[in-house]
């Protein structure tokens, strides 16, 4: 038997909050998804004005980051023409996303879930996903100190 750590719904809300606050700061309404470590959806929010296509893309970015234990941005580099993972973007029915914006949430060296953001530029998406993780990890750190 294996013992696994996984995000709770409360954790997922914190991750979404951090991403949403950052999205509001930069003025881009985002779709924000949080999955557990197996890539299964825990929570999702589409900010008013977020893109319809991004409801799927945000979820699949989080699925990819959790399932493959790496950022979707790292696949972008690795899947360029001539690079080893070229062509991987159409795997799993196209759910494997290689566009920036999916980032695994890592606690004590283990992937416990992931955030996926979509509707802006890939750089904006990634920035907001990271803001969600920053807020979450800051909360974890604060609770450990208390």
For a second copy, give the closer residue by CB, 75 or 131.
75
What number of CA atoms fall less than 13 Å from residue 53's CA on the CB side?
Answer: 2
CA dihedral 115, 120, 122, 125 (to 10 degrees): -30
Classify burial at 140, counting beta carbons within 10 Å of its beta carbon; exposed 0-12, middle 13-18, buried 19 or more: middle
Window 41-70: contact mask with a second copy (x via CB under 8 A) = xxxxxxxx--xxxxxxx--x--xx-xxxx-
Residue among 19, 112, 115, 117 that touches a second copy (CB under 8 A): 112
In the numeric block, the tokens 């197996």 are attached to 38
Window 1-40: contact mask with a second copy (x via CB under 8 A) = xxxxxxxxx-xx-----------------------x-xxx
CB of 142 to a second copy, least distance (A): 14
Residue among 15, 23, 62, 97 that touches a second copy (CB under 8 A): 97
Q: Is residue 140 within a helix (H) or strand (E), and if so which, with residue range?
A: helix 122-145
């Amino acid at each position: 038997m294996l013992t696994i750590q996984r995000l709770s719904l409360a954790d997922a809300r914190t991750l979404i909050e951090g991403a949403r606050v950052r999205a509001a700061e930069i003025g881009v309404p985002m779709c924000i998804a949080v999955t557990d470590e197996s890539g299964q959806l825990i929570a999702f929010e589409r900010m008013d004005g977020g893109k319809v296509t991004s409801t799927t893309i945000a979820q699949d970015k989080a699925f990819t980051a959790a399932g493959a234990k790496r950022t979707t941005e790292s696949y972008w580099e690795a899947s360029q023409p001539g690079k080893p993972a070229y062509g991987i973007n159409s795997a799993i029915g196209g759910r494997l996303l290689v566009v920036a914006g999916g980032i695994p949430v890592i606690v004590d060296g283990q992937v416990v879930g992931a955030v996926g953001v979509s509707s802006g530029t890939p750089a904006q998406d990634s920035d907001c996903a990271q803001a969600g993780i920053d807020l979450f990890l800051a909360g974890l750190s604060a609770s450990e100190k208390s």
